[in-house]
Amino acid sequence: MNRVIIKRNIALYISLVLMTILLGLLSRASFVELPSLLALYAGDILWAMMVFWLFCCVQPAARTRVITCLALAFSFSIELSQLYQAQWLNDIRHTRLGALVLGFGFKLSDLVCYSVGILGAAGLDWWCFRRQVPST
């Protein structure tokens, strides 16, 4: 079986990162009214998608399943780190960027949202690449 190596287009994935950030910020904006369930979880799902796209930028030749595992490990690590409440880490969390990246308190629902976001992004990534692979 020949393995086709496809290198991701970095510009496309940077665009996906930026669009996902914009959607995430809009999901938290007061002037956008979303259904309550979507308003509650959209930000976490989009954050995880952004993590997936960033890993695509860092490892453009990696298989989708590798990127998926990396993004899940990173996201779950961030969430699990919220169980550790050292003062220096809480000081970082109380900055705007620290709050966006590290969050504040552990929630099991966040792990579910991260899984949904990453698996959704992985599905889209896999589907796009599958269409590019020449049939043999």
- Token pair for residue 67? 């990127």
Give the pLDDT confidence score for residue 131 in this predicted structure. Answer: 55
Q: Show me where the domains of the chain are located.
A: 10-72+112-132
- Token pair for residue 5? 């190596």
Helix ranges restricted to H, 29-82: 36-58, 64-81
Amino acid in position 17: V
Least confident of 7-16, 30-39, 46-55: 30-39
Give the pLDDT confidence score for residue 130 in this predicted structure. Answer: 67
pTM of the predicted structure, to 2 decimals: 0.85
Q: Which helix (H) or strand (E) holds 21?
A: helix 10-28
- Burial letters 61-83, b for 16+ CB under 10 A, else e: ebebeebbebbbebbbebbeebe
pLDDT, tens digit, 9 for 90 and up, residues 79-131: 999 998 899 988 998 998 888 788 888 999 999 999 999 999 999 998 887 65
Phi and psi torsions of 69, nearest 5°: -65, -40
Cβ proximity of 114 and 41 under 8 Å: no
pLDDT, tens digit, 9 for 90 and up, residues 13-36: 999 999 999 999 888 888 888 888
**What band does 37 get if pLDDT is binned at 50, 70 and 90?**
confident
